[in-house]
Amino acid sequence: MQYEPDRQFLSKLSALKKDVAAYLENFLVKKHPESLYAPIQYTMSGDGKRLRPALLLLAAEALGGARSCSMPAAVGVELLHNFTLVHDDIMDKDDTRRGRPTVHQKWDTDVALLAGDGLVGLAYAALLRSESEKLPQIMRIFTDGIIEVCEGQALDREFEARDFVEMQDYLEMIGKKTACLLRMCTEIGGLVARGSEEHILALRRFGENLGMAFQIQDDLLDITADEKKLGKDFGSDVKQKKKTYMYIHAMQHGSKAQVAELQEIYSKSMITEQDILRVRSLFEQIGTLSETGKAVRSYIEKAESSLALLSEDVRTQDLHEFLRMILFRKA
């Protein structure tokens, strides 16, 4: 798939990002005490892609919602996303994020723990600035999302300790850990824009399927990225013994010998680059890479057809562009 980003869309995205940054800066200005807000401001000033607030703003705009009405919720979702990053980095013992030390590295674990807690409160505070008669429903979706993200993180950690995971369980996990937040963005975007029930349901399905495609694609890129990109992050899922879509597929469809070889590599205490290349070659032989690509395309089709359910007066072009941007990338 050859993807040429639409220039007009890219400049719109960059304008959205600036608006989000401006709202955030104002929202977090001159807060006290320092030991709570310095790490929060540090986290929020990182070079994030702001995909989630952009998605929420675009979903609202598709239904004719003004940006000023959807901005508080967009910022709320971004604060919530960063809460999960700060706490996940503690659990995963990650030292860097977006090229900078993680909060627990720059300060310490206690500071990062408390900063994450503060981010949840601030996320709700931003969301509660939304002037919508649907606020209780929006709050319920947001709250269910937080609970699901915690459940997804717990499942992910449980799976790392297991030898095998069923595909169905994997799909449940990524649904909660990744797709849930994107679904939340499109659904809340529809709600703040006062969309009809049918439109909101269609947007919700779009976000959900977009999220599933995004995560499986992420698994795939981890091991199929260009050779040039071979580096620290190449094959990190194999190194961490993650039960990805590919691993589960290969375990189910490989020959006895292939499965045994895969298991042998995954039981090693040190995974070399040679091991990762061997895993990739096994995934190729078993047909896992092409099947995983098919799965991504199937979720993309579902996402696209959800948009097709929206009536003609809904401007879905930016949402299509958003999907293309995050899914037709090569790395």
Identify the burial level of 15 via C-beta atoms within 10 angstroms of its C-beta, where 0-12 means exposed, 13-18 middle and 19 or more buried: exposed
Using DSSP, state whether 149 is helix, strand or coil: helix
Residue whose CB is less far from a copy of itself, 30 or 256 = 30
Q: Which amino acid is at 44?
A: M
Per-residue tokens: 292: 């995983």
The candidate with the shortest Cα–Cα distance to 85, out of 125, 124, 46, 122, is 46
Ordered DSSP codes for 109-145? HHHHHHHHHHHHHHHHHHHTT---TTHHHHHHHHHHH
Provide, rounded to whole angstroms, the least separation between the CB of residue 19 and a copy of itself: 23
The candidate with the shortest Cα–Cα distance to 182, out of 148, 156, 222, is 148
For a copy of itself, the binding residue among 2, 4, 7, 33 (CB under 8 A) is 33
To which residue do tokens 């702001």 refer? 50
Provide, rounded to whole angstroms, the least separation between the CB of residue 39 and a copy of itself: 10
| 69: contact with a copy of itself by CB under 8 A | no
| 160: contact with a copy of itself by CB under 8 A | no
Alpha carbons within 13 angstroms on the beta-carbon side of residue 275 total 19
Identify residues 117-156 at the interface with a copy of itself (CB under 8 A): 117-118, 120-122, 124-125, 128, 135-136, 139-140, 143-144, 146-147, 150-151, 153-155
Provide, rounded to whole angstroms, the least separation between the CB of residue 264 and a copy of itself: 27
Identify residues 99-118 at the interface with a copy of itself (CB under 8 A): 109-110, 113-114, 116-118
Residue whose CB is less far from a copy of itself, 120 or 265 = 120
Residue whose CB is less far from a copy of itself, 35 or 236 = 35
| 85: contact with a copy of itself by CB under 8 A | no
Provide, rounded to whole angstroms, the least separation between the CB of residue 7 and a copy of itself: 40
For a copy of itself, the binding residue among 7, 30, 32, 232 (CB under 8 A) is 32
| 240: contact with a copy of itself by CB under 8 A | no
Residue whose CB is less far from a copy of itself, 13 or 119 = 119
Strands (E), the chain: 96-97, 100-101
**Binding residues for a copy of itself, how many (CB under 8 A)?**
37
Distance CA 246, CA 261 (A): 15
What CA–CA distances, in Å, run from 173 to 21, 68, 90, 108, 162?
A: 31, 34, 20, 29, 14
Summarize as ranges the residues that interact with a copy of itself (CB under 8 A).
Answer: 32-36, 83, 87, 90-91, 109-110, 113-114, 116-118, 120-122, 124-125, 128, 135-136, 139-140, 143-144, 146-147, 150-151, 153-155, 157-158
